[in-house]
Amino acid sequence: MMPRRSRTLLAVLALASLVLLTLDYRQGDRGIISALQRTATGIMAPIQEGLTGIMRPVGNFMEAVTELGNLRQENAELEAELQRLREAKISYADLQRENAELRDLLAMRERLGYTTTGAQVIAQPPNAFEWSVLIDAGADQGIEPGMAVINAQGLVGKVVEVTRRNARVQLLSSPNAGYAVRISGTGEEGLLTGRGPRPFQLEVLNPEADIAAAAQVVTRVFQGTTVPGGIPIGEVEEARRNGSRFLSVRPYVDFTRLSTVQVILDAPVAPSQLPPEELVPDPDPPQPPTPTPEAEEPPPPPDGSSPSSPSPSAEDGG
């Protein structure tokens, strides 16, 4: 229970409040309470304005911190979206390049007219010591040693080793590679050898042949090869006019940027000799010459004279 003194104080304060409210109501704006309110307002207004001026930068700073966090988050989202768009653009460009390469490969296959199987190059580009690459196709795809390998530009090389799922391709640029070739425009024949990163070396068989610059060099079929004829190799760099025996040939294929290739599966092997079991009988074989009969010698005469001796006659004076 509240003490007696506290109840008395509360009653006095309530009575004083009631008196002040009554006086303020009766006096209106001219009363003493209104004057005290105006005085207090006049004193507190500059203080309140000063506090507002002090607190406003603090509030603005807090708002800026919050806004900065939002901006950072938004910037991170925009960066992620930009990166995604960049990757999408790169992927689209890569798909366009791959599509164009495959179209060119198909065009080369249609041009040559052979059955091929596609493969991807899975080894590093060639260097000064290694001029071969690995492909991701092998015996399971029908590949055998000696088969020609092409891409959209022309001859890449030939298969030298085969496993079930992979094969090694000796590049045309290898110093150990040698091919029979011809000039497509004139039919002049020659022998081509690789020289690593340098242009090919072409040895012309006809010492009197005139070969123009930019003449196209293609493969030529010879005995025992599985490389078909007519596959593009490169262009002659400088014209030859009854001069040097050797020419430089600039390759069509960029051997440092190999990706998709094709292996020719059904190129016929040029035989070194005709198999006897496959010979077709000649419907009109040549006939052996008929021997001429020798003249019979007459028997010797009874007197033993030579049969070649003439008999005496009246004209001989006998």
pLDDT value at residue 93? 66
101: its two tokens: 């390469």
Gyration radius (Cα) of the chain, Å: 54
270: its two tokens: 């040029």
| Of the candidates 211, 279, 217, the residue with the CA atom closest to the CA atom of residue 241 | 211
| Of the candidates 185, 182, 187, 176, the residue with the CA atom closest to the CA atom of residue 249 | 182
302: its two tokens: 């009874």
- For residue 218, pLDDT over 70 is answered with yes
Cβ pair 191, 255 in contact under 8 A: no
> Hey, how many other C-beta atoms are within 10 angstroms of the C-beta on 84?
10
What is the CATH number that goes with domain 116-264? Answer: 2.40.10.340
- Residues 6 or more apart in contact with residue 33 via CB below 8 angstroms: 20, 23, 24, 27
Residues in the chain: 318
pLDDT value at residue 290? 74
CA dist 131 → 37, 50, 125, 169, 223 (Å) = 101, 84, 8, 9, 25
pLDDT value at residue 312? 44
What is the phi/psi pair of residue 39, to 5°? -65, -45
pLDDT value at residue 8? 78
Residue 11's SS3 state is helix
pLDDT value at residue 57? 64
Write out pLDDT tens, residues 227-268.
999 999 999 999 877 678 899 999 999 998 898 899 999 887
- Residues 6 or more apart in contact with residue 182 via CB below 8 angstroms: 188, 189, 190, 217, 218, 219, 220, 229
What percent of the chain clears pLDDT 70, i.e. is strictly above it?
66
Q: What distance in Å separates the CA atoms of residue 171 and residue 231, rounded to the nearest whole number?
A: 14
- For residue 38, pLDDT over 70 is answered with no
Write out pLDDT tens, residues 157-209.
999 999 999 999 999 999 999 999 999 989 999 999 999 889 999 999 988 88
N-term to C-term CA, the chain: 208
- For residue 103, pLDDT over 50 is answered with yes
The model's confidence at residue 100, banded by pLDDT at 50, 70 and 90, is confident
Locate the domains of the chain by residue range: 16-112, 116-264
The model's confidence at residue 317, banded by pLDDT at 50, 70 and 90, is very low
**Overall average pLDDT of the 29-36 stretch:** 61
> Hey, how many other C-beta atoms are within 10 angstroms of the C-beta on 86?
10
- For residue 306, pLDDT over 60 is answered with no
pLDDT value at residue 139? 96
- Residues 6 or more apart in contact with residue 312 via CB below 8 angstroms: 318
Identity at 80, one-letter amino acid code: A
Q: What distance in Å separates the CA atoms of residue 26 and residue 23, rounded to the nearest whole number?
A: 5
The model's confidence at residue 318, banded by pLDDT at 50, 70 and 90, is very low
pLDDT value at residue 313? 43
What is the phi/psi pair of residue 81, to 5°? -65, -40
What is the phi/psi pair of residue 132, to 5°? -150, 160
Q: What distance in Å separates the CA atoms of residue 32 and residue 59, rounded to the nearest whole number?
A: 38
Beta-ladder partners of 171 = 157
**Overall average pLDDT of the 212-227 stretch:** 89
DSSP 279: P
Residue with tokens 């060119």, as numbered in its chain: 104
Residue 77's SS3 state is helix
Range name among 127-136, 178-187, 195-204, 284-293 with the lowest pLDDT average:
284-293
- For residue 289, pLDDT over 70 is answered with yes
pLDDT value at residue 90? 62
